[in-house]
Amino acid sequence: MFGCTNPFAPSYDENIGDDKPPISDQKDINGVFQNFQYAYTFKDTTIYGQLLTQDFIFTYRDYDQGFDVSWGRDDEMRTTLGLFQNVQRLDLVWNNIILLTQDSLTANVVRSFNLTIIFNPTDVIRVDGRVNLALKKNPDNEKWQISRWLDESNF
């Protein structure tokens, strides 16, 4: 008469798989942002590395020194690996796309974001800002990748 639900043996979820997969094939620009968020959430350098072209350049403003600093793909991968290894958690939220210009093989996207970096429960940093990304579409595999990242954050 009365049903009983065993929390250790839940019923099968028929709706699983209806959502988009956690990792994109990067065949569209939204897939790049989806994989970027996945890489940060799961601290996955393999997925992160697939986002960047071989000639990738990252640039940020060093406000203390008063000039821009740039580095290439190898330094970006080392820096990101260090970030992933030294934090407990990263929460990245992509907000509105402020600017999008695109043709068949290139795109420029300016998008706002919120990033919460949790080193430990008492050491939390919040970064708000914008990324200004140049993307290229590989004509062979039709995947979009980031070729230039100009950081426009408050950090």
What residue has token string 């821009």? 68
85: Cβ–Cβ under 8 A, 6 or more apart, which residues?
A: 43
pLDDT digits (tens, 9 = 90+) for 30-43: 999 999 999 999 99
**Does 109 map to a domain?**
yes
Spatial distance between the Cα atoms of 89 and 41, rounded to a whole number of angstroms: 7
Whether residue 75 lies inside any domain: the answer is yes
Is there a domain that residue 20 lies in?
no
In a domain, 9, yes or no: no
Query: What is the pTM for the complete model shown?
Result: 0.84
Residue type, 58: F
For residue 124, being part of any structural domain is answered with yes
For strand 106-120 and strand 89-102, is the pairing parallel, antiparallel, or unpaired?
A: antiparallel
Token pair for residue 100? 């999008």
User: Do the domain assignments include residue 91?
Assistant: yes
Domain of 46 in residue numbering reads as 29-153
87 within domain boundaries: yes
Residue 153: per-residue pLDDT: 84
| Alpha-carbon distances of 103 from 109, 133, 135, rounded to whole Å | 12, 14, 10
Chain segment 91-142, per-residue pLDDT in tens? 999 999 999 999 999 999 999 999 999 999 999 999 999 999 999 999 999 9
Number of domains comprising the chain = 1
Once rounded to an integer, what is the mean pLDDT over residues 1-26? 63
